Amino acid sequence: MNSNKNVLVKLKQAGFRINDKWLVKGVTLQIEKGKIVTLIGPNGSGKSTTAKIALGIYKKIDGEVEKYTNKIGYVPQKISIDWTLPLRVNDFMTLTENLNEETINEALSLTGVIHLKGKNLGDLSGGEFQRVLLARAISKKPDLLVLDEPVQGVDFTGEIALYELIKKISDELNCGILLISHDLHTVMSATDHVVCLNGHVCCSGTPIDVAKNNEYKALFGEQASQILTRYEHRHDHIHTNEGEIKKN
């Protein structure tokens, strides 16, 4: 049974593989009410896979997942809407739950896209669509929000505003948030717990602990560990496909 009634999802040594290739392995983490857990890591490190394990989208997994809520809002990393579907923003908002007009308007206003309500989903820009996705996820007032790179394609000022909104929602709704992001500097400061992935859990803990960790430095470079003190992130290296780091 659930020992701590604040826990929403618990992963124990969870992993997922396709045939013999592990996408991610040995992940242990838990998400609690009112807390933000952030997953960071290079491309292909298993961040989205971990989110899908937690959500129960992947069913044949190794290890264990315990989920204590069904009120979930999800912003997937990739979503493509087919032109065969005539779908307006308004229709999309009630996709998985029936909401009243007021709730829809409130959520769309919070993410700054209320003016797009009657527009066809296919006519939105990438950033606009991302704001609609976020509005849909928060509108149902979920216990658990899973946000897979929720601000991709959003302009810089909007990005900061949306992260502030996410933090505010976590406090107001007292919901747990699993956040995946590349933007270390914006994300880390608002986070309660950071899990650094690279096919497995490299390190985890409070943002300050993780920033000091050597594996984290190896993964993101010396610069990245200073992001909490300095608000500037200069990228002096490139990540290769194997997750190695090359200096420029």
Partner 1 sequence: MLDDFFIRALLAGLGVAIVTGPLGCFVIWRRLSYFGDTLAHSALLGVTLAYTMEFNIAFSVFIISSLIALILIQLQKRTNLPGDALLGLLAHSSLAVGLVVIGFLTFIRFDIMGLLFGDILAVTVDDLLIIWIGGPLILLVLKLIWKPLFASTVNYELAEAEGLNPDRAKAIFTVLMAGIIAISIKMVGLLLITGMLIIPAAMARNISDSPKKMVVYSIIGGLLSVILGLFSSLEFNTSSGPSIIAAALFLFILSLLNIKQSIKLKN
Q: SS3 for 193? A: strand
The Cα 12–Cα 212 span in angstroms is 25
Q: Per rule CB under 8 A, is residue 87 in the interface with partner 1?
A: yes
76, 112, 153, 205: which one contacts partner 1 (CB under 8 A)?
76
Q: How many residues bind partner 1 (CB under 8 A)?
A: 25
Binding mask 6-45 for partner 1 (x = CB under 8 A): ----------------------------------------
Quickly list DSSP for 106-174.
HHHHHTT-GGGTTSBGGGS-HHHHHHHHHHHHHHT--SEEEEESTTTT--HHHHHHHHHHHHHHHHHH-
Enumerate residues 110-139 that contact partner 1 by CB under 8 A.
Answer: 120
Q: Per rule CB under 8 A, is residue 55 in the interface with partner 1?
A: yes
Which residue's CB is nearer to partner 1, number 91 or number 164?
A: 91
CB atoms within 10 A of CB 51: 22
151: tokens are 């601000």
5, 21, 60, 70: which one contacts partner 1 (CB under 8 A)?
70
Q: Per rule CB under 8 A, is residue 145 in the interface with partner 1?
A: no
Distance in Å, CB of 32 to partner 1, minimum: 19
Distance in Å, CB of 17 to partner 1, minimum: 18
- DSSP single-letter state for residue 88: B
The Cα 181–Cα 227 span in angstroms is 15
